[in-house]
Amino acid sequence: MPVKDRGVETGDEILSAERCLQIHRIMVRARAMEERMIKMSKSGEGFFWIGGPGEEAFNACLGLQIKKGQGPTFDFLHLHYRNSATMIAMGMELIDGIRQMGMTWTDPFSAGRNFPSHFSRKEWNVVPVSSVIEVQFAMAPGTALVQKRHGDGVTIVVGGDAGAAEGDFTTCMLWSSRPGNELPVLMITMNNGWGISTAHCTQHSCEHTIERGKAYGIAGEVVDGNDPVASWFAIERALRYVRSTRSPFMLEAMVSRLHGHSSSSGAPRSADPDCLALFEERLLSANVIDRPGLERVHREARQEVDAAVEKAGQEKKPTPAEIEKFTYAPSAVDAVYPDDYTGLP
């Protein structure tokens, strides 16, 4: 597997061969996990899938640049349900994604209670992902407000272009840009051109989401999210800006949606550009890796996922007796509907 020191180029930006191989492996592992999860949703091993095939290039680069840790001096992440490659880049084991898909008691994010790709990790400042889109943009100013007083940690919030129509998105722009009270928030829009079933061009009068930031004085950049080289340096610039100025920045990544919105739409493979296939052609052209090397990375990823599915399939499932675990204190019996009392908040 010959390696060329110069790496891969986009314009005048060069990403080293070692970094390219690191990103590529993360992308392959994320894709292998997601495609196996889609099969699980069709075979009865799981009941619903949603995830991020097509967003791996940008998301892998994002995860590798996070200041990872717990507390306000580290980065806070308000992700959405297409950020699996980000979590893998940060160190998540593939089996943990499979566990949530299989709804096992060993699922570290929700003990088998939540949809797949709904991550949460306190020790990494990963705030629980919500199924209700874009609410993370209303929460992001809260963590950033604390970070304003502590070190150079920033708040990173990610959502789709369709969700940018929600009021929570505007709330984030407003609270992050108040004169004299600006907040260190990196607002990332993953623009795959679609809502669930509505095209971007039928819903938004502006071509790019970052155009909305101009009214709030928020700087921004659009990047080809299918290009890991361009994505790496765009993320690097954005994070440097937010860390140094303690002010918001908007980054819009143009990406693909390779398997539809979710399993609810059948998860068919689309003809959109595939960031993984495109990157592999560039790796080959730059002599960063050869065909046998690519095949080995894919083979190892498939083996890792298959082993994870087998192991998770043998692990404990939640039981009805455990449904009240990890909930808040019970509420009082309702005076009007006492028979409806469940003991839950």
Residue 327 within a domain: no
Residue 322 within a domain: no
Q: Residue 276's pLDDT is what? A: 97
DSSP annotation string for 155-199:
EEEEEETGGGGSHHHHHHHHHH--TT----EEEEEEE-SBSSSSB
In the predicted structure, residue 199 carries a pLDDT above the cut 80? no
Residue 341 within a domain: no
Mean pLDDT of the chain: 91
pLDDT digits (tens, 9 = 90+) for 31-53: 999 999 999 988 889 888 888 89
Q: Residue 285's pLDDT is what? A: 95
Residue 210 within a domain: yes
Terminal-residue alpha carbon distance, the chain: 57
Residue 269 within a domain: yes
In the predicted structure, residue 11 carries a pLDDT above the cut 70? yes
In the predicted structure, residue 340 carries a pLDDT above the cut 80? no
**Percentage of the chain lying above the pLDDT 70 cut:** 95
Q: Residue 334's pLDDT is what? A: 75
Domain that holds residue 112: 8-314
Predicted TM-score (pTM) of this structure = 0.90
Q: Residue 140's pLDDT is what? A: 97
pLDDT digits (tens, 9 = 90+) for 210-238: 999 999 999 999 999 999 999 999 999 99
Residues 325 and 316 sit within 8 Å (Cβ to Cβ):
no
Residue 337 within a domain: no
- If you average pLDDT over residues 104-109, what whole number do you get? 94
Q: Residue 341's pLDDT is what? A: 61
Residue 344 within a domain: no
Tokens of 75: 């980065």
pLDDT digits (tens, 9 = 90+) for 82-92: 999 999 999 99
Nearest residue to 232 (alpha-carbon basis) of 2, 1, 11, 3: 11
Residue 91 within a domain: yes
> What CATH number should be reported for the domain holding residue 272?
3.40.50.970
pLDDT digits (tens, 9 = 90+) for 44-82: 898 888 888 999 999 999 999 999 999 999 999 999 999
In the predicted structure, residue 267 carries a pLDDT above the cut 80? no
Q: Return the ∠ at Cα 178 (arms to 176 and 182), rounded to 5°.
A: 55
- If you average pLDDT over residues 322-333, what whole number do you get? 74
Q: Which residue has the tokens 């939640």?
A: 318
- pLDDT confidence bin for 265, thresholds 50/70/90: confident
Q: Residue 166's pLDDT is what? A: 85
Top-confidence residue, 133 or 279: 279
Total domain count, the chain = 1
Nearest residue to 55 (alpha-carbon basis) of 248, 189, 164: 189
